């Protein structure tokens, strides 16, 4: 039987800021948020903080977002490692072309067990869940049968690595959209905000919304000012969504 997997999102890299030694400036922030402030002040040589209303980092960054000077957010980046999302969700994710992606290859990695992400509407219904598992079992059976037949068909191929890759790339065509994938995603803070604004909304696909909210929960402690304006709410079906009062487009 197909095994359902849980979504996990881990922060694996983020911006480190090193201040030039000859610039007389201090800030109460670190990492990406410090870099954003530095980049903004560098535009006007305002390292002496002439405006008391934006003297601290939080006030400065909020002002940046309020006036729409969000190009500054592109200097700071975060890299997340996501596991337990479906191929369907990753297909939606990679449409956000300003990210950089490295995704699990089905041409090289053989799904020894068919790990899947079961849609909530199906998981909560016993009859639908039985139908779902039957479909997944049939897909796995078809994959195994095709893979064995393809490996036999390509038996004359001397290069074993190439033979296995060719067999898997053909057999994987019968694997379902709900098959688990794993993906490393790098984006600047502006790109992450845009993704969250588009995908954490209640109108987004249910799974990618879950992915977006989980990413937000990882990003908010990293950069609480940049992502702190997103508010998480619970919908009537028990799932979560998030929205921001700021415009976060490109």
Q: 105 CB contacts (<8 Å, ≥6 apart)?
A: none
| pLDDT of 3 | 86
Q: What is the mean pLDDT of residues 23-34?
A: 97
Lowest average pLDDT, out of 52-56, 155-159, 199-203, goes to 155-159
Q: Looking at residue 184, what DSSP letter applies? A: E
Per residue in 4-17, pLDDT tens? 999 999 999 999 99
Say if residue 239 carries a ligand binding annotation.
no
Say if residue 203 carries a ligand binding annotation.
no
Residue 178 confidence (pLDDT) above 80: yes
The DSSP line for 12-71 is: EEE------TT-----S--HHHHHHHHHHHHHHT-TT---GGG-SHHHHHHHHHHTT-GG
Say if residue 107 carries a ligand binding annotation.
yes
Say if residue 95 carries a ligand binding annotation.
yes
83: annotated active-site residue: no
Task: Report if pTM > 0.75.
Answer: yes
| pLDDT of 155 | 87
Q: Of the listed 87, 168, 199, 209, which one is catalytic? A: 199
Residue 111 confidence (pLDDT) above 80: no
Beta bridge partners of 129: none
| pLDDT of 112 | 67
Q: Which two tokens stand for residue 127?
A: 């009859």
Say if residue 193 carries a ligand binding annotation.
no
Sign of CA dihedral 40, 45, 47, 53: negative
- Rounded distance, CA 126 to CA 124, Å? 7
Q: Looking at residue 175, what DSSP letter applies? A: S
Whether the Cβ atoms of residue 158 and residue 134 lie closer than 8 Å to each other: no
Say if residue 93 carries a ligand binding annotation.
yes
Which range among 89-93, 107-111, 163-167 has the greatest average pLDDT? 89-93
């Amino acid at each position: 039987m197909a095994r359902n997997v849980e979504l996990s999102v881990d922060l694996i890299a983020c911006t480190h800021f090193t201040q030039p030694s000859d610039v007389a400036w201090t800030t109460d922030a670190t990492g990406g948020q410090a870099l954003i402030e530095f980049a903004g002040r560098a535009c006007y040589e305002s390292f002496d903080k002439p405006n008391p209303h934006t003297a601290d980092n939080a006030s400065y960054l909020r002002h940046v977002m309020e006036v729409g000077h969000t190009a500054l957010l592109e200097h700071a980046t975060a890299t997340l490692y996501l596991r337990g999302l479906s191929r369907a969700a990753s297909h939606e994710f990679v449409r956000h072309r300003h990210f950089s992606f490295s995704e699990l290859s089905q041409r090289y990695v053989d799904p020894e067990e068919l790990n899947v992400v079961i849609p909530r509407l199906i998981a909560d219904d016993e009859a639908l869940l039985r139908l779902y598992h039957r479909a997944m079992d049939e897909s796995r059976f078809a994959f195994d049968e095709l893979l064995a037949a393809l490996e036999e068909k390509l038996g004359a191929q001397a290069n074993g690595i190439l033979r296995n890759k060719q067999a898997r790339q053909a057999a994987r065509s019968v694997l379902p959209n709900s098959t688990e994938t794993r993906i490393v995603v790098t984006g600047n803070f502006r790109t992450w905000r845009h993704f969250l604004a588009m995908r954490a909304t209640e109108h987004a696909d249910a799974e990618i919304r879950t992915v977006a909210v989980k990413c937000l929960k990882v990003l908010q402690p990293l950069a609480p000012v940049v992502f702190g304006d997103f508010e998480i709410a619970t919908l009537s079906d028990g799932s979560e969504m998030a929205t921001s009062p700021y415009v976060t487009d490109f």
